[in-house]
Structure 1
Amino acid sequence: MSKRKVLFLMTDSQRADMLGCYGNSDMHTPNLDRLAEQGIRFDKAYTTQPLCQPARAGIFLGCYPHSCASWSNSMGVSGNVQSIGKRLSDHGVHTAYIGKWHLDGGDYFGLGRCPEGWDADYWYDMRNYLEELTPEERVISRRTDSIEKYDIKEEFTFGHRVADRAIDFLKNYNDEDFFCVASFDEPHGPYLCPKKYVDMYADYKLPRPGNFDDTLEDKPEFQRLWARPFRHLTEDPEFRASHKEFFGCNTYVDYEIGRVLEAAEKYAPDAVIIYTSDHGDMLFSHSLTGKGPAPYEENARIPLLIKGFGSRVDENPVSHINLAPAVFEMMGIDIPKAFEGKSLYPELADGSVRVNDHIFVEYGRYEVDHDGFGSFQPMRCIFDGRYKLVINLLDTDEMYDLQEDPDEMVNLIHEERLSQVRNKLHEALIDQMYRTRDPFRSYHWEDRPWHRMERNWDSRHMTRQRENEEYEPRQLDYDTGLEMESAVRKK
């Protein structure tokens, strides 16, 4: 039976171990922990790119970032790419997006305009929030020290206003088929929340992970450059990461999510609830901070909880790219050809099913508007649940065995005993790049020092045209001017 009510909850920069249900009992997240008890907790869930806009492309467009001009922040999505809001609303589903969008090519706060397909009465991105404030309040909202200086109330925060609107939607439209998104910016900086949440972590420090001791000697050069300002910290055996504002906002957003979950239980108890975050945060692991082109677990692994299909823990590798087709399948709507991931629905419905042989993570650059953050760092990664292979096109490649080396300390890229496993992953990754029309595909990814392949100017001699026939005419064959018979064919 189809499930046509879906509440989608999302946070920003909240890696998996920032929830109690993922094993860190020091993190106070009672509402999300309760959701985990009621639903499925995915222990190996990954973003498509550990960066805000690209990650959202994988979720809300159903495409890898490289496929829709979203491989960096501040890039406009391709004009012929439709969001799932547009696609679902065209099938009679009431769609509402409330909160951080980050897919319109504007600056961090967005353009403040509702994209086609979503309910304009509920549209509320961060620019809309700022436009509600006075100039003085805007500055206050962007400074962490405002917590102490101005005694910030929950009603002042973006997260509270997002939650209010989501609750209102559930109250008013629970008798309709719906897909409602509440997208919180918290716990992303500038870390604004009521002081009592920050005080909870005033003296707290994260346990020291083993990868604080990573010298990065056999890792890519860009990681050593990234780590250079912080190595003196992690080299101190007594150093542990502390960030009371970050952790405080982590607990605060759990509170706001709890308000929405309470409303869902009251007004739409039969709704499927999906919760995730866009990406994680390094927090000094491997001497790195923030997010960027390294698909380490702290950065690329994200929490994913889904309520509505029983209660269990799923240990198969899954990706954000699996969510859009899953929503369509559970709603009984044909999955568009333009979606690039497999539907997670069979795995939701039957715990014995594993949908993905591999999942894929990529990276392009941090932001078009910013010169820093490593600038252009093309990366493609494949993970099979144990082995993670990373190709850094302009630098040293990596391979890790997460079963034997969960801290990802030992780079096995030149380990001869694993050459068959490594090369098989490499070939699957290259096939994926061609299958998804990756615009950066070339022989440079194929011919690596540890797996030599013949360089070929014309590569696979194929053409791969787009199939998006719900919203654009069938593309034409260059040689005949007639409608293409097959999207993938010899050129």
Structure 2
Amino acid sequence: MMRRNVLFIMCDQLRFDYLSCAGHRTLDTPNIDRLASRGVRFTNAYVQSTVCGPSRMSAYTGRYVRSHGSTQNGVPLRVGEPTLGDHLREVGVRCALIGKTHMAADDEGMERLGIDRSSIIGVHIAECGFEPFERDDGLHPSTAYDPDPAYDAYLREHGFDADNPWEHWANSGEGRNGENFNGWLLVHADKAARIPEEHSETPYMTRRAMRFIEEAEAAGQSWCAHLSYIKPHWPYIVPAPYHAMFGKQDVQPAVRSEAERLSPNPVYGAFQEERYSRNFSRDEVRETVIPCYMGLIKQIDDQLGHLFAFMEERGLFENTMIVFTSDHGDYLGDHWLGEKYMFHDVSVKVPMIVYDPSKEADASRGTTSDALVEMIDLAPTFLDHFGGKAKPHILEGRSLLSLLRAQSSGAWRRYAISEYDFSADMARLKLNLPVGDCKLYMITDGHFKLIHGEATPPMLFDVTNDPRELNDRGRDPASAETVAHLRRALFHWLATPRNRITVEDSWLTADDDKMRHFDPLVGPGVLIGYWDEAELAGQHEARRKWLEETELPVNQQP
């Protein structure tokens, strides 16, 4: 059988609607579009959290945030939490990271268990189960996520030396006279990055992905390559010529209304007051930053063109599943917000394109699907693609293969769910809430979307009749039943977590047939609840008859 592979591409902070195949009117992404023409583009793909770390931990574990426990950036994924790398190694697949994870290692847990972080096991635990072929989380090199990035060494080797070359060269702007402009400041987003384009992060990481693929192919290995770009995430700065490809004429009008600022839901109002929201509410900021954001996306698309050509030359489209997605979106001033944290579609919905190389998927090529899918569906999809045994007691998502191969019948999923813990945000202080009351949950059935918080009023959007989500009906008495219905569904989900990950359901159901005929607890030294010898003798007789009827071999008899 032909070896199978997976190329798992994730952008950071890429909105679902900033692709030409998704309808953007001026941003042309032909390489991503061609991938969509060969696969399925899911139009209702939701992440499990609207912030990098928790969203990615859900992608890498196939589990909801409430299950894996990494609720905020910097909160470690606990030791022992099964990951995609763990599952794929079991079926002989080399699972490697090229780029970002935003993973914070559970150093305390490893120390408690006596696990050396530099050991093979320690590396897997510290890197979300991946082999860290090339980790690059960006930000400052002193961060806990990525204390010694190879990209910094690469820049120094090519003459771009500084205490922090990532910031000084790749993520700072250059003026006409060689000035160094701080790339963190939004006002400089219209300037070219100081680094030549070929040495910037996106081309560098693309080349590293090609190198990994070459190495794995030469070794005859099945592989899963997680190519995780850190763009178009801020700092909003892009090298020439991409910095000048788009202008304010390409900036689409903000999706917002004055009514959204009049007596908003308290938590929504608190996020509207954040500095990034106030700035992105200004037209001047949007007209400066969004062209840069578009340039970063255009650069990614061009690099994917090189990567896909590389794969075509080697015949890898014949046996490689390709996924293109993002960890969350970016408000960019919509709804009077910046960043991502709330649950409007521009934040919680992401692009998701899946190319399945199998002949069974031919019927669905070039189609779109409006099924409710979640980021946690990718891990079971990859396991299914490699022929691994399903693990529904661990993986809370569902394999997408039935949708990709037009084999699904009936309802796919009734609800999609996302979570955000805002206890680390200024909003907690503004609302004077204890940490335990800062959890927000979003649930949608594709028609309505509810945002529930224990300490705040509900938010409700009719996404069918109000797709721009401008009218919050959460406090409207006429919507009370809809709110109650979605709350009941949410509470049912909260009450049924899959926390028993050490044994499969079959461990519990294996004795079902015996229990229907006799008490399987009857055995040496185990006589629970019997009244007298006659009752016990009846059970022994029932056991004897069942064995005769089933005709089990002696070595299989209970």
Give the letter for the 2:227 counterpart: A
1:70-469 matches, cutoff 5 A:
70-105=70-105, 114-115=123-124, 117-120=129-132, 122-126=133-137, 127=146, 128-132=149-153, 133=156, 134-136=161-163, 137-141=165-169, 143-146=171-174, 149=178, 151-174=194-217, 175-228=220-273, 234=281, 241-243=287-289, 244-267=291-314, 268-270=316-318, 271-292=320-341, 294-308=342-356, 309=361, 310-336=365-391, 337-350=393-406, 353=409, 354-365=411-422, 372=426, 377-436=438-497, 466-469=500-503
Counterpart residue identity of residue 313, structure 1: T
Q: CA RMSD in A?
A: 3.0
Say if 2:100 and 2:229, in contact at 8 Å, map to a contact too. Answer: yes
Length-normalised TM-score, structure 1: 0.81
Measure the CA separation in 2 of the matches of 1:233 and 1:57.
Answer: 28
Residue number in structure 2 paired with 1:31? 31
| CA gap 1:351/1:373 in 2 versus in 1, 3 angstroms | farther
Check 1:166–1:419 CA distance in 2 against 1; reply closer, same or farther (3 A cut): same
Residue 289 (structure 1) shift: 0.5
Task: Look up the match of 1:14.
Answer: 14
Is the alpha carbon distance of 1:124 and 1:360 closer, same or farther for their aligned partners in structure 2, counting shifts above 3 Å? same
Q: 1:456 maps to what in 2?
A: none
Q: Cα 1:239–1:257, aligned 2, differ >3 Å: closer, same or farther? A: closer
- 4+ aligned runs moved over 6 Å, structure 1: none
CA distance in 2 between counterparts of 1:233 and 1:291 reads 12
Partners of 1:248 and 1:191 lie apart in 2 by: 10
User: Aligned equivalents of 2:174 and 2:104: distance in 1?
Assistant: 29
Pair 231,80 (structure 1): closer, same or farther in 2 beyond 3 Å: closer
Over residues 329-370 of structure 1, what are the superposed CA-to-partner deviations in whole Å (9 max), with x where a residue is unaligned? 222212222112222222222165442111001101375xxx
Q: For the residues of structure 2 that align with 1:285 and 1:81, how far apart are their CA atoms? A: 36
Select the structure that is richer in helix. Answer: 2
Shift of 1:105: 4.2
Determine which structure has more spread, i.e. the larger CA radius of gyration: 2
| Aligned partners of 1:40 and 1:307 also within 8 Å | yes
What residue number does 2:143 align with? none
CA contact (8 A) 1:29 1:251 kept: yes
Unaligned residue ranges in structure 2 (runs of 5+):
108-116, 138-145, 179-192, 430-434, 509-558
Paired residues, what number?
436
Corresponding residue SS for 1:397: strand
* Contact 1:40–1:306 under 8 Å retained in 2: yes
**Percentage of pairs with the same residue:** 25
Between the aligned partners of 1:114 and 1:296, the Cα distance in structure 2 is 36
Query: Normalized against structure 2, the TM-score is what?
Result: 0.71
Tell me the alpha carbon deviations over residues 164-210 of structure 1, each in whole angstroms, 9 at most, x when there is no partner.
Answer: 12112223334432211100001111234321101012334422144
Deviation at 1:212, TM superposition (A): 4.0
Deviation at 1:281, TM superposition (A): 0.6
Once structures 1 and 2 are overlaid, which stretch shifts more, 198-207 or 1-10? Answer: 1-10
Post-superposition offset of 1:408: 1.1
Preserved CA contact (<8 Å) 1:7 1:179: yes
Instruction: Confirm or deny: 8 A CA contact 2:97 2:135 kept in the other structure.
Output: yes
Change (3 A) 1:3 1:421: farther
Superposed CA deviations along residues 266-317 of structure 1, whole A, max 9, x for unmatched, are: 221221100100000111111011111x110111111000112322100122
